[in-house]
Amino acid sequence: MDPAEPSDEEFDALFRRAFVAEVAKKSGLMWIVYDGTWHPVWHAWHEDAACVVAGGDEQPLPGIKEQPDVVLDLRAKSTRAQVAQVRATIEVIDPEHPDWVEVTALLASERLNLFEPDEAVARWARECVVVRLRPTDLLASPGHLGHSDQRQQPLESPARTVRGRPFALHRQRRAPHLSPRSES
């Protein structure tokens, strides 16, 4: 065996890392699972890790800083089908961290519909937490995923409607008949 050629175990580890990176880069949304709760988040992929901004006016991730690790559920962008699940460690990136400027600049560029883009990084430093989620173990990949539909009840919110459809004041137009009526 050529010394420059990786062993089967090394190749497998490199392949898994590249697979997770490719799926995460292409997806605009991933799910973070911890404390039995699934949290949908937007993210930016940077140096083999997903970077996420949480809290304040951004996406809610209560208690994310206290978690030793989380599970990332990665899905295909086009079909939303589950592609992989990985365990990831959490690193908090605070304003004193050497990667703060680079990570927050990337997050600001990836954020859609950013409110006050010139003030976003300063607001994140005051009100939010920026975390880097570095994958450690590939838990499930295509062909080895669970068969549950992973549906959960929505969280209680005053924004949720509990009543039926509203009363229609004007008569609704009926769909046209596709076949002529028979005269009897």
pLDDT one-digit tens code per residue, 63-75:
999 999 999 988 8
* Mean pLDDT calculated for residue range 22-34: 83
Domain containing residue 71: CATH number: 2.30.110.10
| Max CA distance (Å), the chain | 89
Q: What is the pLDDT of residue 140?
A: 64
Alpha helices for 66-165 (secondary structure H):
100-110, 120-127
Q: Is residue 49 part of a domain?
A: yes
Is residue 179 domain-resident?
A: no
Q: Is 169 a member of any domain? A: no
Summary mean pLDDT of the chain: 79
SS3 label, residue 48: coil
Q: What domain range includes position 62?
A: 8-140
**Which comes out higher in pLDDT, residue 112 or 19?**
112
The runs of H, that is alpha helices, within the chain are 8-26, 100-110, 120-127
Tokens found for residue 46: 């940077």
Domain count, the chain: 1
Confidence of residue 27 (pLDDT cuts 50, 70, 90): confident
